[in-house]
Structure 1
Amino acid sequence: MTRRTKTFRLAAVAATSALVLAACGGGDDDGGSDDSSTPSRSDGVLTVGMLLPQTGSLAFLGPPEFAGVDLAIQEINEAGGVLGEDVVGIKADSGDTDSGIAAAETDKLLDADSDVIVGAASSGVSMTVVDKIMSAGSVMFSPANTSTDFDNGDFADPDLYFRTAPSDILQGAVMANLLIEDGKQNVAILARQDAYGETLAEEISKGLEAAGSTVAATVFYGENAQSYDSQVAEIAESKPDAVVLVAFEETTTIVPQLVSANVGPQTVSTYFVDGNTADYSADLPAGTLAGTKGTIPGAEAAGDFRERLLTIDPSLTDFAYAGESYDATIVSALAAITADSDAGDKIAEEIPGVTEGGTTCTSFAECADLLADGEDIDYDGVSGPIELGETGSPTAASIGIYQYGPDNTYAAVNYISGTI
Structure 2
Amino acid sequence: MSVIAKASAKRSARAAWTGIALAGVSALLLTACSSGETTEPTESDEAAASGDALPIEPGERDLTLKIGTILPQSGALAFLGPPEEAGVALAAQEINDADLGITVDVVYRDSGDTTTDTATVSVTDLLSQDVSGIVGAASSGVSKTVIDQIVAAGVVQFSPANTSADFTEYDDDNLYWRTAPSDTLQGEVLGNLIASDGNATLGMIVLNDPYGTGLAEFTKTAFEAAGGEVVAEELFNEGDSNFDSQIAGVTAANPDAIALITFDQAKIVTPALVGEGFPGDKLYFVDGNLADYSADFAPGLVTGAKGTLPGLDVSTLGDFTDNLLSIDDSLTDFSYAAESYDAVILLALAAYAANSTDGADIASYLQQVSGGSGDGEVVTTFADAAALLSEGEQIDYDGPSGPITFDEHGDPTEATIGIFQYLDDGTYERIGDG
TM-score band w.r.t. shorter chain = 0.7 to 0.9
Tell me the secondary structure at the aligned position of residue 92 of structure 1: strand
C-alpha spacing 1:252/1:290, structure 2 compared with 1 (3 Å): same
- Structure 2 residue 430 is the aligned partner of structure 1 residue 412: yes
Please, which of 336, 342, 362 is the counterpart of residue 347 of structure 1?
362
Distance 1:307 1:248 in 2: 27
Q: Contact conserved, 2:292 with 2:428, CA < 8 A, in 1?
A: yes
Distance 1:319 1:277 in 2: 11
Q: Contact conserved, 1:31 with 1:130, CA < 8 A, in 2?
A: no
- Report the equivalent of 1:13: none
Size of the aligned set, in residue pairs, is 388
- Structure 2 residue 315 is the aligned partner of structure 1 residue 296: no
Tell me the secondary structure at the aligned position of residue 351 of structure 1: helix
C-alpha spacing 1:30/1:99, structure 2 compared with 1 (3 Å): farther
Please, which of 5, 21, 31 is the counterpart of residue 8 of structure 1?
5
- Deviation string, structure 1 residues 362-416 (Cα, Å, up to 9, x no partner): 1101111111222111001110110111111111111111111011011111122
- Deviation string, structure 1 residues 241-299 (Cα, Å, up to 9, x no partner): 11111111111111121012211415xx1100000000111111111111111111111
Please, which of 71, 75, 79 is the counterpart of residue 56 of structure 1?
75
- Deviation string, structure 1 residues 94-153 (Cα, Å, up to 9, x no partner): 111112211111122112221111111011111111111122121100000011110135
- Structure 2 residue 133 is the aligned partner of structure 1 residue 129: no
Distance 1:56 1:355 in 2: 32
Q: Contact conserved, 1:236 with 1:262, CA < 8 A, in 2?
A: no
- Deviation string, structure 1 residues 150-188 (Cα, Å, up to 9, x no partner): 013524xx5111000000111100101111221111111
- Report the equivalent of 1:87: 104
C-alpha spacing 1:322/1:194, structure 2 compared with 1 (3 Å): same
- Matched to 1:148, the amino acid is A
- Structure 2 residue 66 is the aligned partner of structure 1 residue 47: yes
Identity of aligned residues (%): 48
Q: Contact conserved, 2:114 with 2:238, CA < 8 A, in 1?
A: no
- Matched to 2:23, the amino acid is L
Q: Contact conserved, 2:287 with 2:309, CA < 8 A, in 1?
A: yes
Q: Contact conserved, 1:137 with 1:345, CA < 8 A, in 2?
A: yes
- Report the equivalent of 1:152: 169
Q: Structure 1-normalised TM-score?
A: 0.88
Q: Contact conserved, 2:63 with 2:103, CA < 8 A, in 1?
A: no
Between 318-327 and 256-265, the greater mean CA deviation after superposition: 256-265
Q: Contact conserved, 1:49 with 1:116, CA < 8 A, in 2?
A: yes
- Structure 2 residue 165 is the aligned partner of structure 1 residue 165: no
Distance 1:225 1:313 in 2: 32
- Structure 2 residue 100 is the aligned partner of structure 1 residue 100: no
Distance 1:44 1:110 in 2: 19
- Structure 2 residue 432 is the aligned partner of structure 1 residue 387: no
In the TM superposition, residue 303 of structure 1 has moved relative to its aligned partner by 2.7
- Matched to 2:424, the amino acid is P
Q: Contact conserved, 1:278 with 1:318, CA < 8 A, in 2?
A: yes
Distance 1:202 1:31 in 2: 30
**What's the Cα RMSD here?**
2.3
- Report the equivalent of 2:333: 318
Q: Contact conserved, 2:262 with 2:289, CA < 8 A, in 1?
A: yes
Please, which of 243, 247, 255 is the counterpart of residue 270 of structure 2?
255
Please, which of 70, 77, 93 is the counterpart of residue 74 of structure 1?
93
Q: Contact conserved, 1:68 with 1:326, CA < 8 A, in 2?
A: yes
Distance 1:60 1:353 in 2: 33
- Report the equivalent of 1:114: 131
- Matched to 2:430, the amino acid is A
Distance 1:303 1:31 in 2: 48
- Report the equivalent of 1:229: 244
Tell me the secondary structure at the aligned position of residue 149 of structure 1: helix
- Matched to 2:243, the amino acid is Y
Tell me the secondary structure at the aligned position of residue 205 of structure 1: helix
Tell me the secondary structure at the aligned position of residue 275 of structure 1: coil
**1:263-278 equivalence runs, <5 A:** 263-266=278-281, 269-278=282-291
- Matched to 1:8, the amino acid is A
C-alpha spacing 1:149/1:34, structure 2 compared with 1 (3 Å): farther
Q: Which runs of 5+ in 1 are unaligned?
A: 11-17, 22-28
Q: Contact conserved, 2:5 with 2:188, CA < 8 A, in 1?
A: no
Q: Contact conserved, 2:5 with 2:23, CA < 8 A, in 1?
A: no
Distance 1:105 1:264 in 2: 42
Please, which of 221, 226, 229 is the counterpart of residue 211 of structure 1?
226
Distance 2:357 2:104 in 1: 10
Distance 2:274 2:95 in 1: 48
Q: Contact conserved, 2:5 with 2:185, CA < 8 A, in 1?
A: no
In the TM superposition, residue 35 of structure 1 has moved relative to its aligned partner by 7.6
Distance 2:416 2:39 in 1: 31
Q: Contact conserved, 1:299 with 1:398, CA < 8 A, in 2?
A: yes
Please, which of 199, 204, 207 is the counterpart of residue 184 of structure 1?
199
Q: Structure 2-normalised TM-score?
A: 0.85
C-alpha spacing 1:222/1:85, structure 2 compared with 1 (3 Å): closer
Tell me the secondary structure at the aligned position of residue 171 of structure 2: helix
- Matched to 1:376, the amino acid is Q
